[in-house]
Protein backbone atom coordinates (compact mmCIF):
# COMPACT_ATOMS: atom_id res chain seq x y z
CA UNK A 1 0.00 0.00 0.00
CA UNK A 2 1.46 3.37 -1.01
CA UNK A 3 1.37 6.03 1.70
CA UNK A 4 -0.57 9.31 1.61
CA UNK A 5 2.79 11.14 1.64
CA UNK A 6 4.00 9.27 -1.48
CA UNK A 7 0.77 10.13 -3.34
CA UNK A 8 1.13 13.75 -2.21
CA UNK A 9 4.71 13.82 -3.57
CA UNK A 10 3.55 12.31 -6.88
CA UNK A 11 0.74 14.90 -7.02
CA UNK A 12 3.09 17.85 -6.53
CA UNK A 13 5.71 16.51 -9.00
CA UNK A 14 2.82 16.19 -11.46
CA UNK A 15 1.75 19.80 -11.11
CA UNK A 16 5.36 21.02 -11.41
CA UNK A 17 5.71 19.04 -14.68
CA UNK A 18 2.44 20.43 -16.04
CA UNK A 19 3.44 24.01 -15.28
CA UNK A 20 6.93 23.46 -16.79
CA UNK A 21 5.46 21.88 -19.94
CA UNK A 22 2.74 24.48 -20.47
CA UNK A 23 5.13 27.30 -19.57
CA UNK A 24 7.62 26.04 -22.16
CA UNK A 25 4.97 25.85 -24.89
CA UNK A 26 3.55 29.29 -24.06
CA UNK A 27 6.85 31.17 -23.79
CA UNK A 28 8.05 29.69 -27.08
CA UNK A 29 4.95 31.00 -28.85
CA UNK A 30 5.27 34.44 -27.17
CA UNK A 31 8.99 34.58 -28.07
CA UNK A 32 8.56 34.01 -31.71
CA UNK A 33 6.05 31.69 -33.24
CA UNK A 34 6.53 28.07 -34.22
CA UNK A 35 9.08 25.94 -32.42
CA UNK A 36 12.22 25.15 -34.36
CA UNK A 37 13.55 22.59 -31.89
CA UNK A 38 11.68 19.31 -32.16
CA UNK A 39 13.36 18.23 -28.91
CA UNK A 40 11.98 21.24 -27.00
CA UNK A 41 8.51 20.77 -28.48
CA UNK A 42 8.44 17.07 -27.62
CA UNK A 43 9.85 17.62 -24.11
CA UNK A 44 7.23 20.27 -23.31
CA UNK A 45 4.47 17.92 -24.55
CA UNK A 46 5.94 14.96 -22.61
CA UNK A 47 6.23 17.00 -19.40
CA UNK A 48 2.62 18.10 -19.79
CA UNK A 49 1.29 14.62 -20.54
CA UNK A 50 3.22 12.91 -17.74
CA UNK A 51 2.30 15.71 -15.31
CA UNK A 52 -1.41 15.47 -16.10
CA UNK A 53 -1.27 11.71 -15.42
CA UNK A 54 0.73 12.08 -12.16
CA UNK A 55 -1.65 14.76 -10.80
CA UNK A 56 -4.49 12.31 -11.29
CA UNK A 57 -2.59 9.30 -9.88
CA UNK A 58 -1.46 11.24 -6.79
CA UNK A 59 -4.83 12.97 -6.37
CA UNK A 60 -6.90 9.80 -6.44
CA UNK A 61 -4.37 8.03 -4.24
CA UNK A 62 -4.76 10.75 -1.63
CA UNK A 63 -8.55 10.67 -1.99
CA UNK A 64 -8.42 6.97 -1.16
CA UNK A 65 -6.18 7.57 1.86
CA UNK A 66 -8.62 10.29 3.00
CA UNK A 67 -11.41 7.70 2.82
CA UNK A 68 -13.08 9.29 -0.21
CA UNK A 69 -13.32 5.94 -1.99
CA UNK A 70 -15.64 4.70 -4.78
CA UNK A 71 -19.32 5.35 -4.06
CA UNK A 72 -18.60 8.24 -1.69
CA UNK A 73 -19.83 11.49 -3.27
CA UNK A 74 -17.00 13.95 -3.96
CA UNK A 75 -17.01 17.12 -1.86
CA UNK A 76 -17.19 20.40 -3.80
CA UNK A 77 -13.46 21.12 -3.45
CA UNK A 78 -12.59 17.92 -5.37
CA UNK A 79 -15.00 18.83 -8.22
CA UNK A 80 -13.37 22.26 -8.51
CA UNK A 81 -9.89 20.69 -8.62
CA UNK A 82 -11.05 18.21 -11.25
CA UNK A 83 -12.27 21.17 -13.33
CA UNK A 84 -8.89 22.89 -12.95
CA UNK A 85 -7.20 19.61 -13.94
CA UNK A 86 -9.37 19.41 -17.08
CA UNK A 87 -8.56 23.02 -17.97
CA UNK A 88 -4.80 22.39 -17.61
CA UNK A 89 -5.13 19.22 -19.71
CA UNK A 90 -6.91 21.01 -22.59
CA UNK A 91 -4.76 24.14 -22.33
CA UNK A 92 -1.93 22.36 -24.20
CA UNK A 93 -4.01 22.48 -27.39
CA UNK A 94 -4.20 26.29 -27.37
CA UNK A 95 -0.82 28.08 -27.68
CA UNK A 96 0.29 26.65 -31.06
CA UNK A 97 -3.18 26.68 -32.61
CA UNK A 98 -4.26 30.07 -31.22
CA UNK A 99 -1.08 32.08 -30.48
CA UNK A 100 -3.21 34.99 -29.19
CA UNK A 101 -4.13 32.84 -26.18
CA UNK A 102 -0.48 32.47 -25.11
CA UNK A 103 -0.14 35.64 -23.03
CA UNK A 104 -3.48 35.33 -21.14
CA UNK A 105 -2.70 31.62 -20.55
CA UNK A 106 0.67 32.50 -19.03
CA UNK A 107 -1.10 34.80 -16.54
CA UNK A 108 -3.81 32.20 -15.91
CA UNK A 109 -1.43 29.33 -14.96
CA UNK A 110 -0.42 30.57 -11.47
CA UNK A 111 -4.05 31.60 -10.81
CA UNK A 112 -5.29 28.08 -11.66
CA UNK A 113 -2.50 26.41 -9.65
CA UNK A 114 -3.07 28.68 -6.66
CA UNK A 115 -6.84 28.16 -6.81
CA UNK A 116 -6.43 24.36 -6.86
CA UNK A 117 -4.00 24.54 -3.93
CA UNK A 118 -6.41 26.81 -2.03
CA UNK A 119 -9.22 24.30 -2.58
CA UNK A 120 -7.05 21.44 -1.29
CA UNK A 121 -5.73 23.27 1.77
CA UNK A 122 -8.87 25.20 2.89
CA UNK A 123 -11.60 22.90 1.44
CA UNK A 124 -14.18 25.77 1.41
CA UNK A 125 -16.78 23.69 -0.46
C1 LIG B 1 -8.74 15.44 -10.54
C2 LIG B 1 -7.86 16.27 -10.11
C3 LIG B 1 -7.37 16.37 -8.66
C4 LIG B 1 -7.64 15.61 -7.55
C5 LIG B 1 -8.56 14.38 -7.45
C6 LIG B 1 -6.87 16.17 -6.44
C7 LIG B 1 -6.90 15.68 -5.14
C8 LIG B 1 -6.15 16.20 -4.09
C9 LIG B 1 -6.21 15.69 -2.73
C10 LIG B 1 -7.08 14.54 -2.25
C11 LIG B 1 -5.35 16.44 -1.99
C12 LIG B 1 -5.02 16.27 -0.49
C13 LIG B 1 -5.96 17.08 0.33
C14 LIG B 1 -5.72 16.80 1.82
O15 LIG B 1 -4.82 16.09 2.18
O16 LIG B 1 -6.46 17.32 2.64
C17 LIG B 1 -4.74 17.40 -2.88
C18 LIG B 1 -3.80 18.31 -2.49
C19 LIG B 1 -3.27 19.24 -3.34
N20 LIG B 1 -3.57 19.41 -4.67
FE21 LIG B 1 -4.81 18.31 -5.79
N22 LIG B 1 -6.15 17.24 -6.88
C23 LIG B 1 -6.42 17.40 -8.23
C24 LIG B 1 -5.93 18.36 -9.07
C25 LIG B 1 -5.01 19.29 -8.67
C26 LIG B 1 -4.49 20.31 -9.55
C27 LIG B 1 -4.89 20.47 -11.01
C28 LIG B 1 -3.59 21.04 -8.82
C29 LIG B 1 -2.75 22.23 -9.22
C30 LIG B 1 -2.52 22.62 -10.43
C31 LIG B 1 -3.56 20.48 -7.48
C32 LIG B 1 -2.80 20.97 -6.44
C33 LIG B 1 -2.80 20.46 -5.14
C34 LIG B 1 -1.99 20.99 -4.06
C35 LIG B 1 -0.96 22.13 -4.16
C36 LIG B 1 -2.31 20.23 -2.92
C37 LIG B 1 -1.77 20.45 -1.49
C38 LIG B 1 -0.68 19.52 -1.22
C39 LIG B 1 -0.24 19.64 0.25
O40 LIG B 1 -0.92 20.22 1.08
O41 LIG B 1 0.79 19.06 0.52
N42 LIG B 1 -4.43 19.41 -7.43
N43 LIG B 1 -5.26 17.24 -4.16
Round to the nearest angstrom and report the end-to-end CA distance of the chain: 29
**C-alpha to C-alpha distance for 56 and 20, rounded to whole angstroms:** 17
Q: Which of 12, 59, 78, 122 to mutate to test the pocket of ligand 1 (most atoms within 8 A of CB)?
A: 59
- Condensed to tens digits (0 to 9), the pLDDT of residues 39-74 reads 888 899 999 999 999 999 999 999 999 988 778 889
pTM score: 0.92
Residue owning the nearest CA to atom 9 of ligand 1: 59
**Could you tell me the CA-to-CA distances from 14 to 52, 71, 72 in Å, in that order?**
6, 26, 25
Q: Is the pLDDT of residue 118 over 80?
A: yes
- Condensed to tens digits (0 to 9), the pLDDT of residues 27-41 reads 988 887 655 578 888
Q: Which of 11, 13, 123 to mutate to test the pocket of ligand 1 (most atoms within 8 A of CB)?
A: 11
Burial of 72: CB neighbours in 10 Å, binned 0-12, 13-18, 19+? exposed
Residue owning the nearest CA to atom 5 of ligand 1: 59
Residue owning the nearest CA to atom 21 of ligand 1: 59
Amino acid sequence: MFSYQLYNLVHIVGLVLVMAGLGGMIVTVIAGGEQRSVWARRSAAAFHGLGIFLILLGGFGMLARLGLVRGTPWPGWVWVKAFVWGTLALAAFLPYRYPKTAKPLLLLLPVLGGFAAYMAIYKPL
